[in-house]
Amino acid sequence: MRHSVRRSVRHSVSRALLERFQHPAQVIVTAFAAAAAVGTGLLATPWAAESGVETRLIDALFTAVSAVCVTGLVTVDTASHWSAFGEVVIMVLIQAGGLGIMTLATLFAMMISGRIGLRARIWAQAETKAPQPSDLRRVIGNVVLFTLACEALVAIALAARFAVGYGEPPGRAAYLGLFHAISAFNNAGFGLWPDSLMRFSTDAWICLPIVAAVVVGGLGYPVIFELRRSWRRPKQWSVLTRITVTTTLILLVAGFAVFTITEWANPKTLGPMGVGAKLLAGFFTGAMPRTAGFNSLDIAAMHPTNWLATDVLMFIGGGSAGTAGGIKITTFAVLAYVLWAELRGETHVNAGHRRLAATVQRQALAITLLGLGLVTISTYALLALTPHGLDKVLFEVVSAVATVGLSTGITADLTSAGQLIITALMFAGRVGPTTLFSALALRDRTRRYELPEEKIIVG
């Protein structure tokens, strides 16, 4: 009798929780918040700090959110402040945030029970962007295997370089390789040196594997899997793959050209380097705003014009359904197609030989406006709370909301209120503005009638 009562109570509680969180967006937001809370608790313990003293709650919270939201902004130096236990916690949070909390939860459910419930399929589909709920088992398996394989390859390459080129012991070299491989593929930007990767700015054996991991992880899993199937047949690529690959290449070339040309003679960045080293450092710097967060040049010493260029690249971000942040390449491309169609006076928006749905256009516009709104309001608030100028504050805000992790060095100097604002921006940027705001909505509303059309003057 007692056991039946307990089962009845547990069933009632579980049913109540499921009814409370029926919208996939609510589940995703809750899952990321729970992971951040657990990470905060672990990082606040004395065992997580190198000194053996409890870390301030604000620093533990900031670091946990930055890790699970794969950003890379920090208020304390990762290598010197955190112990091995703390670094492992950060690494696990990065991996969980990159794969997606719901993806991991669904994977564990598959391993334990061998099946997935319909609601779990819908939740995980919202996180993985699987085409259909029925494809979820295959998609999750492919995502996990591909992620682990890429991270392993990059970890091996980095570990070999650390061991051979820098004399690190095998165990230490393997640990450094694994940590930075996970951080790079998940576009997190956490590093185990105070200067990020500036000491390796001229080492192609370190920089190029990092760039490769960042770019591949930021393409998005749907694009990666399609390229794996038909990379030799570009004419058969979907519109999503064509837009993502083309725009990625354009932005990589543009970033490389802008940073290399404008910083070429800067005595504090590229100036003292040789030609080959300048090209390598310029390419690395141009690729990192794909929301990675590593830097091989001193960001604070760059020309302010490049801060603005970095703001733009960070805000655009990487591919959809990947580890990158920002409004996404596809969102940016859709708005470009809308603009092009409007300039040409066309009634429909076309991408290649396909017509873009009106719902896609509205989603792109909504995501961009919400992102700009977050950036504007947060920049205004931080300007009121800190003595820093507009250029540095804007850089920090865009880096946070786009989950990039690049910084001009003012993060640790912000007040507690300012750091909480940055923390909220990182969280909102990871789950997505539309996901966050739809999760906060009390209920979905469907209008069962249409109002008369009215044309107004715009522009």
Q: Mind giving me the DSSP string for 217-278? A: HHH-HHHHHHHHHHTT-GGG--HHHHHHHHHHHHHHHHHHHHHHHHHTT-TTTTTTS-HHHH
Q: Are 278 and 270 in contact (CB under 8 A)?
A: yes
pLDDT the model gives residue 17: 46
Count of H-run helices and E-run strands, the chain: 19, 2
The CA dihedral of 69, 73, 79, 80, to the nearest 10 degrees, is: -130
Average pLDDT of the chain, as a whole number: 86
Q: What digits encode the pLDDT tens for the residues 290-299?
A: 888 899 999 9
Query: Residue 13's pLDDT band (boundaries 50, 70, 90)?
Result: very low
Burial of residue 365, with CB atoms counted within 10 A of its CB: 0-12 exposed, 13-18 middle, 19 or more buried: middle
Instruction: Return phi, psi of residue 409, to 5°.
Output: 100, 15
52, amino acid identity: G
Neighbour count for residue 170 (Cβ, 10 Å):
10
Q: What digits encode the pLDDT tens for the residues 386-415?
A: 999 999 999 999 999 999 999 999 998 999
CA distance 349 to 342: 8
Which whole number is the average pLDDT over 83-107? 84
**Residue 55 DSSP label:** P
Q: Are 70 and 94 in contact (CB under 8 A)?
A: yes
The reported pTM is 0.87
Q: Are 270 and 281 in contact (CB under 8 A)?
A: yes
Q: Is the pLDDT of residue 96 over 60?
A: yes
pLDDT the model gives residue 353: 82
Compute the Cα dihedral for 106, 111, 117, 121 and give only its sign.
Answer: positive
SS3 assignment, position 324: coil
Q: What digits encode the pLDDT tens for the residues 55-67?
A: 999 999 999 999 9
416, two tokens: 């507690």
Sorted by where each begins, the domain ranges of the chain are 20-440
The lowest-confidence range among 220-224, 282-286, 396-400, 401-405 is: 220-224
